[in-house]
Amino acid sequence: MRWRDTGRSTNLEDRRGGGGRKAGGLGIVGVVLALGISYFTGVNPLQVLGIMNSVQGGGAGASAEAPVEDAAEEPMVRFLSASLDDAQNTWRGILAQQGKEYPDAKLVLFRESVSSACGSASAAMGPFYCPGDQRVYIDLGFYDELSRRYGAPGDFAQVYVLAHEVGHHVQNVLGTERELRRAQGADPGQANALSVAMELQADCYAGVWAHGVAQRGDLEAGDLEEGLGAASAVGDDRLQKQSRGEVDPESFTHGSSAQRMQWFKAGFDTGDPKSCDTFARR
């Protein structure tokens, strides 16, 4: 993807220097336990992790740290900064056409663990968006995992992840996230299906942004394939197959690999958020 280095975004919070908290003894076992508790209780897994972390002690410092000067990671920081600003400029324009304002989300970079308005989370949870503080949280180490463990390398795979999380911010701005939480509370039996629809819509919104990148000629050969590869890599069926050797569609929360690619491509092909009504087609 062609991009212009404009330095660090004003919407970047760099907490790699210690703004988060180490995961301590939780590790992957604790994360799996938290996900299990979340599945059976319906409680946000980030809140579960926050409770588990608080038992181990430590404050929930949420203030941004001074920028980390890491020469090895700085190019990626600047790339993500440029991509964040570009995605948000795209959505600002789209929402302006609808007579709506778009408040910027912040991007928080962290290492190992982080505190948010949604609770404390380990890097093992992967990137996430917290509607409570309108922030996207990413440990840059996730991109190594995406490339090496999940077989989805490339810069456009990286920005697909970021654009997906920005898509969740768009849902928050439009009120979709609040409507979904109410619907899940009213009909717990549909909680997973509604979660899948929410995630697939964020994939479609990522595609809407990618459409704009392609229209202005900044998409390079292989970029679309990298984005689709990342969408496929984080499909529920693929992740379940890798982790436990079997697939349980009833427990999907993000959608299958095929669904995630389908909806990312739908947004990419049309560039129209109206094509992203995943709730009507669930």
**CA distances for 57 relative to 44, 60, 120, 234, 259, angstroms:** 20, 10, 12, 32, 40
Question: What is the arithmetic mean of pLDDT over 217-228?
Answer: 96
Q: What is the DSSP letter of 154?
A: S
Instruction: For residues 254 and 196, give the distance between their C-alpha atoms in angstroms, rounded to a whole number.
Output: 4
Q: Convert the pLDDT of each residue in 67-78 to its tens digit.
A: 677 888 999 999
pLDDT at 23: 39
Question: What is the arithmetic mean of pLDDT over 215-226?
Answer: 96
Q: Hey, where are the domains in the chain?
A: 12-276
pLDDT at 46: 54
Q: Convert the pLDDT of each residue in 251-279 to its tens digit.
A: 899 999 999 999 999 999 999 999 999 99
pLDDT at 118: 94
Q: Convert the pLDDT of each residue in 183-193 to its tens digit.
A: 999 999 999 99
In this structure, is the dihedral angle defined by the CA atoms of residues 196, 198, 199 and 200, taken in order, positive or negative?
A: positive
DSSP track, 70-115:
-TTTHHHHHHHHHHHHHHHHHHHHHHHHTT---PPPEEEEESSEEE
pLDDT at 282: 60
Q: How confident is the model at residue 64 (pLDDT cuts 50, 70, 90)?
A: very low
Lowest mean pLDDT across 14-28, 133-147, 197-211, 213-227? 14-28
pLDDT at 140: 93
